[in-house]
Amino acid sequence: MLSRFAPLAFVLTVPCYAADPTGLFTVRKQVEEARVTFSVQDARGGPVSGLTRDEVRVVNDGHVISQITSFYGYENVPLRLTILLDASDSMSRRVGDETQMARDLLRSIVRPGLDEARISSFAGRAHSVAEISQVGFQGLKAGGQTALYDAMYGEMASLNERSAGPVRRIMILFSDGEDNWSEHNLEDVIAAAQQADTAIYTITAHSHRYVYAGDRVLRQLAERTGGHAFFLRSFDKPELIYHAMQAELRAHYVLVFRPASASGFHTLTIFPRNSRLKVRSRKGYYVEPRIDP
């Protein structure tokens, strides 16, 4: 199904090359460069700043990249954030808890006047995604089938909009990971997130004595886009999540390198030289077929 929406990559000509240092670009003409955003945490989950290009190793399609053309770090850049709430039948017992936690997340993460935040809900129809005002936030009611992938795919369009300066693009998903109504699939959503340089953070709550089918989906969404999957016992003690997300969102790095020339998807893994550190980054990128003018 991915082929219906491929290729998924920005295309810029050389004069527009430096407009946005946080996205992933494929530049047509003589030079192609890929830009990848990632964050680094220490053993306690705290942010790590001050790394140099020699302190990371980048593996592209199984081969170490010998030349990184640019490497720099950012701290406290503006966030472009979407919180997406699952309001389908399967979340009917938890919708009140997830909306309360989403409200608390907004208060703890979003800085007025600097960050941009959007709150949306979804249920059974792809076009039912609607922005929720602070006034109506408390009255959200669950009902309907679950078009999880369609909702996420649709929200990526707003996250993918160009920005005047560097931003950190984040989607926080409250859901059990189940989908029974979408036209898109998991791979479509991950590809769209990688295109938009958006890290997906997933949050769910259930007994840890069981493993649910949606858990695998939530893990893949997070791990393959450079985010984090949180599995809580309940929504009533979210403080650890707030601390972890603050650490991961406020500091990050951007590296630039020349990608593989072949079109299509390419795997990418970033390893810190210090084994005690942990990197969160997307697991790959796309290169569009070359079209000569």
* Phi, psi dihedrals of residue 61, rounded to the nearest 5°: 55, 40
Q: Which helix (H) or strand (E) holds 172?
A: strand 168-174
Residue 17 confidence (pLDDT): 31
Looking at the fold, whether 141 and 103 belong to one and the same domain comes out as yes
Buried b (16+ CB within 10 A) or exposed e, 270-283: bebeeeebebbbbb
Looking at the fold, whether 92 and 197 belong to one and the same domain comes out as yes
Residue pair 137/125 in contact (Cβ under 8 Å)? The answer is no
Residue 203 confidence (pLDDT): 96
d(CA 149, CA 263): 25
pLDDT digits (tens, 9 = 90+) for 116-175: 998 888 997 644 455 555 444 656 777 889 999 999 999 998 898 888 888 999 999 999
Residue 10 has pLDDT above 50, yes or no: no
Q: 178 falls in which pLDDT band (50, 70, 90)? A: very high
Looking at the fold, whether 245 and 256 belong to one and the same domain comes out as no
Q: Chain centroid to CA 129: how far?
A: 18
Percent of residues, the chain, with pLDDT higher than 70: 82
> Residue type for 256, please?
V
Q: How many domains, in total, are found in the chain?
A: 2
* Phi, psi dihedrals of residue 153, rounded to the nearest 5°: -60, -40
User: CB atoms < 10 A from the CB of 123, how many?
Assistant: 23
Q: Is residue 293 part of a domain?
A: no
Segment 195-202 shows an average pLDDT of: 93
Least confident range from 23-37, 44-58, 197-211, 216-230: namely 23-37
Residue 73 has pLDDT above 50, yes or no: yes
Residue 88 has pLDDT above 80, yes or no: yes
pLDDT digits (tens, 9 = 90+) for 96-112: 888 888 888 888 888 88
Look up residue 87 and give its two tokens: 């309001």
Strands 25-27 and 278-281: unpaired
The mean of the pLDDT values for the chain is 81
d(CA 179, CA 265): 25
CATH of the domain at 203: 3.40.50.410
Domain that holds residue 15: 2-73+251-287
Distances (CA, A) of 235 to 67, 240, 270: 45, 11, 32
The secondary structure of residue 290, as a DSSP letter, is: P
Looking at the fold, whether 154 and 104 belong to one and the same domain comes out as yes
* Phi, psi dihedrals of residue 289, rounded to the nearest 5°: -60, 140
> Residue type for 122, please?
F
Q: 21 falls in which pLDDT band (50, 70, 90)? A: very low
Q: What is the pTM of this model?
A: 0.81
Residue pair 97/236 in contact (Cβ under 8 Å)? The answer is yes
Residue 287 confidence (pLDDT): 78
Q: Is residue 132 part of a domain?
A: yes
Distances (CA, A) of 284 to 57, 214, 244: 15, 23, 24
Looking at the fold, whether 58 and 199 belong to one and the same domain comes out as no
- E strands present in 49-165: 56-60, 63-64, 68-75, 79-86, 116-122, 130-131
Least confident range from 5-19, 45-59, 117-131, 210-224: namely 5-19
Q: 25 falls in which pLDDT band (50, 70, 90)? A: very low
Residue pair 231/204 in contact (Cβ under 8 Å)? The answer is yes
Looking at the fold, whether 83 and 105 belong to one and the same domain comes out as yes
**Among 35, 67, 75, residue whose Cα is nearest residue 51:** 75
> Residue type for 260, please?
A
Residue 291 confidence (pLDDT): 58
Residue 68 has pLDDT above 80, yes or no: yes
Q: 253 falls in which pLDDT band (50, 70, 90)? A: very high
Residue 93 confidence (pLDDT): 85
Looking at the fold, whether 95 and 217 belong to one and the same domain comes out as yes
Residue pair 200/223 in contact (Cβ under 8 Å)? The answer is no
Residue 45 has pLDDT above 50, yes or no: yes
User: What's the CA angle centered on 258, arms 252 and 262, to 5 degrees?
Assistant: 120
d(CA 84, CA 102): 9
Looking at the fold, whether 31 and 57 belong to one and the same domain comes out as yes
